[in-house]
Chain A
Amino acid sequence: MEKEIRKEEPQLMKGNDALAEAAIRANIDAYFGYPITPQSEVIEYLTREVPNRKDKNIVVLQAESEVASINMMYGAAGAGARVMTSSSSPGISLMQEGLSYIAAAQLPCLVVNVVRGGPGLGTIQPSQGDYFQATKGGGHGDYHLIVLAPNSVQEMADFVFEGFRLAEKYRNPAMILTDGALGQMMEKVYLPEDNSLPKNIPEWATRGKPKGGKQRVVTSLHIQPEQMEAINHQLLAKYEELQKEVKYEEIQTEDAEILLTAFGLSSRICQKVIDLGREKGIKIGLLRPITLYPFPSKRINELADKVEFMMSVEMNAGQMVQDVKLAVNGKVPVYFKGRMGGIIPTPEEILQELLLHYENLKVVG
């Protein structure tokens, strides 16, 4: 099959499959995972494809639980390997303990969350309900993941490379926060070039003590409060440094009087809302955060000087809208339109909600 895949030609692939293929091309050393809908295609693709790639040396292991997968990832990442795991919301909840340890021990690795509706066992339909969990830490203690939010199958593949690049540069776990629709849907994708992500074995990795050299320890334990706080400051400094990696996309913001904010799948739907609104003469623009952490607060604050109001469109009960409000800092009203339960909002219902606020604006104005 791999002979048919040429980097020059686009493929028609499922999001989950494209992501898995990108992981092979990124030369991961290991993947540990546990099946869960709607992302089981990732481990299925890897267990099926990896044995056929004779030029690759990739461990693919189905663990007994997500708790085990994330800890296998801790061990392998601590040994200097390029490691990935993937899961969906309930499984990602089980990984939170391990993620806290990984963030504390500053191990680079990539976690993929193909989000489904919750809370609880919820539904297997797409959702963006894990925004808080992904961007605010998720597990215990003060830490952040680097969070990337793709909105196409193309980005499902590309962000594997970008995720590892950032994770390894900053020694921090990265997460691709996507959803069941992006995981399952098929689109045209130009797969990333094979072997194009450079790999270095870090000197801190536990691979057997160098002869006459110093012992390497991967740990998150710092019993002395002063020592622990120093580590906290080290992490904060790193997160500050990360701000320069902020990525976002702006669509028709130049003349916008109303700004939509949306990430992932919602941002695709909002593009249609812009067209529908502009047909009616309403100048709508869109800011799509591509990195959810670090968050494009600065740019949103700048745009608040140019628009009448903002509306955050999400497939949840209102999560990113809180970060938008913090960024806007009261300059203009920030509204919210969301659907939950695995339901994807239609462009029409988003526009209808937006028009309500637009009419009010005119009345008040």
Chain B
Amino acid sequence: MSEKLYLDEPELELEEVYCKPTEALYDIPFHYCPGCGHSVVHRLLMEVVEELGIQEETIGVAPVGCSVFAYHYMNVDMQEAAHGRASAVATGIKRVLPDKYVFSYQGDGDLAAIGTAETIHTVNRGENILMVFINNGIYGMTGGQMAPTTLPGQVTSTSPYGRDVKMVGHPLKITEMLALLPGAYYVTRQSVHNPNAVRKCKKALTKAFQYQKLNKGTCFIEIVSNCPSGWKMTPVESIKYIEEYMFPLYPIGDIKVPKD
């Protein structure tokens, strides 16, 4: 597609470098806070689904958390799971519809606190699904409480003097734990804090959907994200916080890649 710009001289032919998904993502504004990573990840997921032409073959599972209404944006068949249970629900779907693409989408409290057992056993069984894990180190929807992934010393509404690891333990690096399980096929940690990271994240999501057809195990993608509202920061400050404080503990990159 090209467009004529109304400049005097000379006429410019513009190349289209980006367009929104037209089918897989509903054309409505996201309800997420300004600067939040959720909307970027939603869009990436649906871009990938659309580009792979699998909108009619994809079933998603939404969590309890800020993204509880993911199905308001993602135009694929979806189920809304109880808090922590998304991967069990996804297991149920995939087991009766083994030829379909199934993904779950969960935050850190959902996946790594209340749903830890379901998370570990889903990956251990090697369910052929994609698990998307948004790690922003905080409970966003309930108002900014401490999460299993909250950093040591990080102030939240339930760690008002900073996370005291002697009292409540250290941040749970569940993605590294899961990579140890034979059922895990592809485990990677990505982010969406800058355009380069967004592009890499999209590549990882694309691979994960493609791997699902191989029936070789679970694809698990952690996406380090921000929560400007919960962190009480501007979006720009929150991006800096990710780079300075989150990445040292949650480094970006592949943790387990397919051998073949």
Residues of B within 8 A of A (CB): 55-59, 61-62, 68-69, 71, 75-82, 85, 88-97, 100, 117-118, 120-121
Bound-state CA distance A218–B97 (Å) is 16
Bound-state CA distance A84–B251 (Å) is 43
Annotate A282-305 by CB proximity to B: 1 below 8 A, 0 otherwise: 000000000000000000000000
A71 pairs with B88, CB closer than 8 A: yes
A221 pairs with B82, CB closer than 8 A: no
B71 pairs with A217, CB closer than 8 A: yes
- Closest chain B CB from A239 CB (angstroms): 22
Which of B55, B57, B58, B89 interacts with A75 by CB under 8 Å? B89
A208 pairs with B58, CB closer than 8 A: yes
A217 pairs with B95, CB closer than 8 A: no
- Closest chain B CB from A25 CB (angstroms): 19
- Closest chain A CB from B101 CB (angstroms): 8
- Closest chain B CB from A106 CB (angstroms): 13
Q: List the 3 closest pairs (A to B, CB-CB), nearest first.
A: A75-B92, A71-B88, A219-B80
Query: CB-CB < 8 A to B56: which residues of A?
Result: 208-211
Bound-state CA distance A217–B26 (Å) is 14
Given A209-B55, A216-B77, A221-B80; A68-B88 close (CB under 8 Å): yes
Which residues of chain A (66-111) have a CB below 8 Å from chain B? 67-68, 71-81, 83, 97-98, 101, 105
Interface size class of A (residues with CB under 8 A): 35 or more
Knowing that A79-B97, A83-B92 touch, tell me 16 more A-B residue pairs with CB under 8 angstroms: A30-B95, A61-B91, A63-B88, A64-B118, A65-B117, A71-B88, A71-B118, A73-B92, A75-B93, A75-B94, A76-B95, A78-B89, A105-B80, A208-B76, A217-B78, A218-B79
A219 pairs with B89, CB closer than 8 A: no
A209 pairs with B76, CB closer than 8 A: yes
Given A64-B121, A65-B117; A207-B59 close (CB under 8 Å): yes
B95 pairs with A74, CB closer than 8 A: no
B92 pairs with A207, CB closer than 8 A: no
Bound-state CA distance A78–B212 (Å) is 21
